[in-house]
Chain A
Amino acid sequence: MMGSRELVLARVRAALADVPRDEAPEDFPVDRDYLDAHATGSPAEVADLLADNLADYRAVVHRCSAAELPGLLARLLAEHRSGDVAVPPALPGDWLADSEGVRVLTDDGSLTASRLDRVDSVVTACAVAVAETGTIVLDAKPDQGRRLLSLVPDHHICVVRPEQVVASVAQALRRLDPSRPLTWISGPSATSDIELDRVEGVHGPRTLEAVLLAD
C-alpha cells in the first residue's frame, strides 16, 4: 500500500498532466515588474518616514543621539515606573548605565515565561527597520535575545541604529537570514475583532517604544 506521501505526490503529478514534461520550474516566466522600494529619499528622509509610519500604528517614537541614549532610556523606564527590566545577553554595555534603581534581569536562557510575565519592561536592539511599512524586525541575535523576551513583558523599548534602517520590505528581506527565527513588529499588538473597533494590546506588549538613533 502506498503511504500518504507517495499518494499525495502521485496525485499532484497526475493533476499536472497538462504541464509539458520538459518544462523546468524556471521556464515558467515570472516578471518582477514592481519597484524595489517606493521611498527613494536620503537616509534622513527615510528615517523620517520610518518615524512617521511607526507612530501612525501607535508605536511611541523617540529620536536621540547615541550619547543621549542612556539618559533617554532611564527617563522612559522611570516614566513607566519600571522596577524589573529584562534585557538580552548582549545589550550594549552602556545603554542602561543611567537607569539607576531598576533591577536588570539579563536573560542567560533561564528566564521563564512566568518570570517574564512579572517584569515591567524589556529593552532590546533590533536587526532591521523598514521605513515604508513602519516595521522593526528582530532576529534573536544576542543583542535582542530569545523570542519570548520581547513577547511576554507588557512594555517593549526597541533601539534602532541608523545603519539598520532600510526603505522597503524587499531590502529588509535581503539583509535577513531566513535560518534565524524572525519577528516583524509593526506597532503594538492589536485587534479589531469586536465590532471592528481597533484595540491596542491583546497578547503582545501593549506599549511599544521605538528609539531611533541619529548618526
Chain B
Amino acid sequence: MTAVHLGMPAFPSFPEAAEAATTDAQLRRNLRNATHTIRDKRARAVAELSDWAGLRAAAAAIKNRTLRHLDHYLLQLEEAVTKAGGRVHWAIDAADANRIVAELVKATGETHVVKVKSMATQEIGLNEALAAEGITAYETDLAELIVQLGDDRPSHILVPAIHRNRSEIREIFVRAMGRWGRAAPDGLTDRPADLAEAARLHLREKFLSAKVAVSGANFMVAETGTLVVVESEGNGRMCLTLPETLISVVGIEKIVPTWQDLEVYLQLLPRSSTAERMNPYTSTWTGTAEGDGPREFHLVLLDNGRTGALADQVGRQALRCIRCSACLNVCPVYERAGGHAYGSAYPGPIGAILTPQLRGITSALDASLPYASSLCGACYEVCPVAIDIPEVLVHLRERVAETGKGHPAERTAMRAARWVLEDPARLARAQRLATRARRFRPRHLPGPAAAWTDTREVPRIPEESFRDWWRRTQGGGPRAGGGPAGKGGR
C-alpha cells in the first residue's frame, strides 16, 4: 500500500514544529485572539438552544448508524446521485482521486479550475497534482486566496489565514495578485473592507470565465443523493452555479442517511463553527438541474485511509467529525503550538486523532500527534458530535507504545509529551479545564508518557468541572448576534 497523503509537507515532528511556532510572537497573538473570540461567541450561540444536548446525542447516533452501515449508504447514495444525472467515481487514495479529477478536467479541454475551500482536496494535495498536469487551480475563499497568494499553508480549519494580520495580507495582495490575474487596486489600504473588495474584484473575473469548478461537501444525503455546502462568502455559490462542470471530492464518511437528518446538523454546525444561528449561505444540489447550474456533475468518493480508521472500534468515532473547528478553539495546546505543527490538513485535537489513523503511526510525526494533548477534555465538551477525543488519544498512545521501545517514533512521541506537560502553568490551566464528569481519567498515562507519570502522578482534577467553569467564565448572553463569519470545513 502506498503512503496516505494528507496534504502537507511533513515537519520532522510535532514538538519541533510546535517549538518553532511558539517563538513566533505574531502567530501566537493572532491565534490567541482568534480562538478566544470564537469560543466566547460559540458558547452564547449554543446557549440559545435548550435542546443542545439532545441534538448532540442525535448527531452522534446518526453518524454511528451511518458508519456501521457505510457500505449500504454508499451504494444508496451512488444510486441516487446517478439517477439525478450525476456521475460517481471511487478513489482508493490520494493518487487515485487526483488522477480522476485531472482526467475529468482534461476531458473538458480546460486548463483552469476554480475551487471552493475543501479539506478533502487539501488532504490529497489536489492543487499540486493538478499543477503537475498543467492545470491551474484557483482558490476562491478569501482565506485560502491569502494562503495561496502568500505561497503558504493554512493553519486553522475555519480561518486558514489566522496567522496573517491585515498589513501582511495587504502586502501579499499587492505583491502577488497581478501574477495570478487582476492586480490589486492602486493605493490599497489594509482596512479589511478594502482588502475584501480587492479580493472580490480579483476573483469575479475568475468566476465569470470559469468552466470547471472543484468543491468538497459538508454532507451527502444517501436517500436523495443531495450534496450540501455550508459557507459564508458566496464563492461556494459561484463555484457551484456558474461553471459548466462541477467536480466534488468528498470523503466517504460525509454521508447522512436522510434529508430529515440535516435538521440536526444544520443547527449544530453553524453554531459550533462560526457561532452563528446560520451561516450566510448553504447550497444543496441533487445531480444536475435542467437549465440551472452545471450541466455535468461528478462526485469523487474518497477513501484515503478512512477505512483504516473505520476498522478501529475506538478510533472509528473520529469519522463522525463535521469539521466545525470548535475543538481547536478551546485547545490549550493548539493555542500555543499553532496549526502548522500538526503536519497535515487537519490541525488541533481532531488532527491529533484523525491524522495518525488516516496515515498510520509509522512516522515520527504521526506517532507524536497523540501526545499533542494534555487530555484536558475541553475538546470533547464542545464537540457537536460528541467525539471523545481524549479516549481516542489514549487508545492511539497505546498503539504507539506497541511499536516498541527504542523506536525513533517512540522517542519523538516522548518529546511531544514532555513539550505538552513540561510547562507547569499550561498544565495547570489544562487541568483546571478538565471536567469532573469525564468518564475517562487515567492516573497514569500509558505509552511513552508513562515515564513522566511514573515519577509524578497526573495532577488531581479540581472540584470545579469544565462545564461549571465554562458557565461561570463565559457567561452566555441571550443572543448570539453578529458572530464572526466563516465556513464549516469540508
Contacts and interface: CB of A to CB of B under 8 A. Distances in A.
Interface string B190-215: 00110110011001100110000000
Contact of A15 (B30, B64, B311): B311
Contacts of A173: 259-260, 262-263, 266
B1 to A, nearest CB: 11
B151 to A, nearest CB: 17
Given A184-B278, A203-B200, A192 B484 contact: yes
Contacts of B84: 179
Interface stretch (A3-11, A67-75, A76-84): A3-11
Given A25-B65, A31-B61, A56 B479 contact: yes
B22 interface: no
B15 to A, nearest CB: 28
B252 A12 contact: yes
A11 B482 contact: no
A186 interface: yes
A195 B166 contact: yes
Contacts of B449: none
Residue of B71, B224, B264, B283 ringed by the most chain A CB atoms within 10 A: B71
B45 to A, nearest CB: 11
Interface stretch (B49-57, B118-126, B371-379, B406-414): B49-57
B289 A180 contact: yes
B443 interface: no
B58 to A, nearest CB: 5
A13 B263 CA distance: 29
B193 A199 contact: yes
Interface string B300-323: 010100011011010000000000
B280 A185 contact: yes
Interface in B307-352: 307-308, 310-311, 313
Contact of B482 (A56, A151, A202): A56
Interface in B156-212: 159-161, 165-166, 169, 192-193, 195-196, 199-200, 203-204, 207-208
Interface in A9-24: 9, 11-19, 23-24
Contact of A186 (B62, B143, B166, B276): B276
Contacts of A168: 263
B246 to A, nearest CB: 11
Interface stretch (B128-136, B231-239, B390-398, B428-436): B231-239
Interface in B90-143: 90-92, 96, 140-143
Nearest to A59: B280
A28 B68 contact: yes
Contacts of B218: none
B192 A197 contact: yes
Interface string A173-215: 1100011111111111111111111110111110000000000
Contacts of A32: 54, 58
18 contacts: A4-B89, A4-B96, A16-B69, A19-B68, A34-B54, A133-B277, A140-B289, A146-B292, A173-B266, A181-B292, A187-B280, A189-B281, A190-B485, A193-B141, A193-B161, A194-B142, A202-B234, A203-B204
Interface of A: 3-5, 7-9, 11-19, 23-25, 28-35, 38, 53, 56-58, 109, 113-114, 117, 130, 132-135, 140, 146-148, 151, 168-170, 173-174, 178-199, 201-205
